[in-house]
Structure 1
Amino acid sequence: MYDYIKGIVTRVTPEYITLEQGGVGYQILTPNPYAFHKTEEMQQVFTYMHVREDTQMLLGFKTLEQRELFKKLITVSGIGPKGALAILASGIPSQVMGAIEREDESFLVQFPGVGKKTARQMILDLKGKLHDLFTEIELPDEEVTLLTMAENGALDEAMLALEALGYSQREMAKIKPKLEKEEHDTEGYMKLALQLLLKQK
């Protein structure tokens, strides 16, 4: 329905961004909302409209490759849009695809909502079908901005975003002390937190 939307990001929350275009604010769910920044500059968001009888969701991605991987993930039985977003939020989709190709179930079950059965289904459904994405897909590294007084809640925002992705309070409590020793903006905390969560499984 929509391939992409160019507009101005007017709001960033733990679950979605608001992209304004032509006087309309589009609420767009993304893997990591904090990869986007509120700015007066136009930004392009690749979109996917997910429609079911009981729900409609507009999802957005920083790159075309991210979106294409998302579309492949949601074809797997047991993985819905929010589960696919949580997998993409790791920031390392090439590792996800590598795990599928290697049939590495232990890596795949690290993601929220992915058990052994779903991991096995991902391998059965997607192995050998990701080569066109494997060498291309990569989440761009955003420049880490210096913390300001207004960004002191960055860690709290990151925790809310992780909760929205499906991580438990117990999982987050394990990594929070390490995060508190660091100084990042919200996106930086998100990237570090996701790395720590994947290591502790």
Structure 2
Amino acid sequence: MIDFLRGRVVHVEPEYVVLDVRDVGYRVFTPNPYALSRTEETIQLYIHHHVREDAIQLFGFTTREEQSMFRKLLDVSGIGPRVALGVLSAGRPEALASAIQQENLSFLTKLPGIGKKTAQRMILDLKDKLGAVQEGLPFAAAAGAPAAGPAAGAESDSAWAIAREALAGLGYRDAELDRAWHALKDKVKGDETPEGLMKQALQQLFQG
């Protein structure tokens, strides 16, 4: 089984990147592909090697924590690889762990592909398996309470707040996120998921 791959991103699609590893191109599905296109340097992705009867797929993550959380999510009935990937595109592992441990259905049901019943199964199946919440943002911030600022009130308790937190976890600065939101907010219809807004914002950030 492949544990990690180290190479250069040579192609980006909305759901995956192509990683050039010694002249072999690996298609790797990852939570936020456009974030990986920001650099031409060699990167390392931690891999979950998923084997089915009809396909062999690679899912890649920038940290061991994401890789571990992805595998834990797959243990939950009703969550497959694509849903687990969507969940991680909208929330960092420590935010997810905290929400599960605190039984925060409001946060969990805002994640892409997660309804109330699935959120309840996540809590039931994972609450006692996640250990201590990893060091990182306080839960209030991780769960989507944005920092104070002109746009904070409008973003509070919204899909954009979750998407913004996830983007901040990728290293984007507040000023960059404010510009991306300014460019997108007039196009938002109100029914977008955090994953959808995140993809739109990443495209905007990638374009500069």
TM-score (norm 2): 0.67
Q: Output the amino acid matched with 2:106.
A: S
Q: Distance in 2 between matches of 1:185 and 1:90?
A: 16
Deviating beyond 4 angstroms after TM superposition, the runs of 4 or more aligned structure 1 residues are 136-140
Question: Which moves more between the two structures, 14-23 or 94-103?
Answer: 94-103
Query: Residues 77, 130 of structure 1: CA spacing in aligned structure 2 closer, same or farther, 3 A cutoff?
Result: same
Query: Residues 74, 185 of structure 1: CA spacing in aligned structure 2 closer, same or farther, 3 A cutoff?
Result: same
Query: Percentage identity across aligned positions?
Result: 42
Pair 1:185 & 2:205 matched: yes
Q: Distance in 2 between matches of 1:77 and 1:127?
A: 14
Matched position secondary structure for 1:50: strand
How much does 1:83 deviate?
0.5
How much does 1:184 deviate?
5.0
Pair 1:141 & 2:161 matched: no
Q: Distance in 2 between matches of 1:90 and 1:54?
A: 28
Q: Output the amino acid matched with 1:75.
A: D
Match of 2:35 in 1: 35
How much does 1:172 deviate?
3.0
TM-score (norm 1): 0.69
Q: Distance in 1 between matches of 2:104 and 2:73?
A: 16
Match of 1:52 in 2: 52
Q: Distance in 1 between matches of 2:57 and 2:119?
A: 25
Query: Residues 104, 71 of structure 1: CA spacing in aligned structure 2 closer, same or farther, 3 A cutoff?
Result: same
Q: Output the amino acid matched with 1:114.
A: I
Q: Distance in 2 between matches of 1:88 and 1:171?
A: 20
Q: Distance in 1 between matches of 2:77 and 2:4?
A: 26
How much does 1:170 deviate?
6.7
Q: Distance in 1 between matches of 2:123 and 2:55?
A: 28
Gaps of 5+ in 2: 138-165, 177-182
8 A Cα contact 1:10 1:38, kept in partner? no
Matched position secondary structure for 1:131: coil
Matched position secondary structure for 1:60: strand
8 A Cα contact 1:65 1:136, kept in partner? no
Higher normalized contact order (CA 8 Å, seq sep 6+, divided by chain length): 1
How much does 1:106 deviate?
2.2
Q: Output the amino acid matched with 1:26.
A: Y
How much does 1:55 deviate?
2.6
How much does 1:38 deviate?
5.5
Match of 1:3 in 2: 3
8 A Cα contact 1:60 1:67, kept in partner? yes
Match of 2:80 in 1: 80
Q: Distance in 2 between matches of 1:14 and 1:112?
A: 15
Q: Output the amino acid matched with 1:12.
A: V
Match of 1:102 in 2: 102
Query: Residues 186, 39 of structure 1: CA spacing in aligned structure 2 closer, same or farther, 3 A cutoff?
Result: closer
Q: Distance in 2 between matches of 1:143 and 1:91?
A: 15
- State the superposition RMSD in angstroms: 3.4
Output one character per residue of 1:60-108: Cα deviation in whole Å (capped at 9) or x when no partner. 0011111000000011001001111111111433222111101122221
Q: Output the amino acid matched with 2:86.
A: A
Alignment length (residue pairs): 164
Match of 1:129 in 2: 129
Q: Distance in 2 between matches of 1:187 and 1:118?
A: 36
Q: Distance in 2 between matches of 1:102 and 1:187?
A: 38
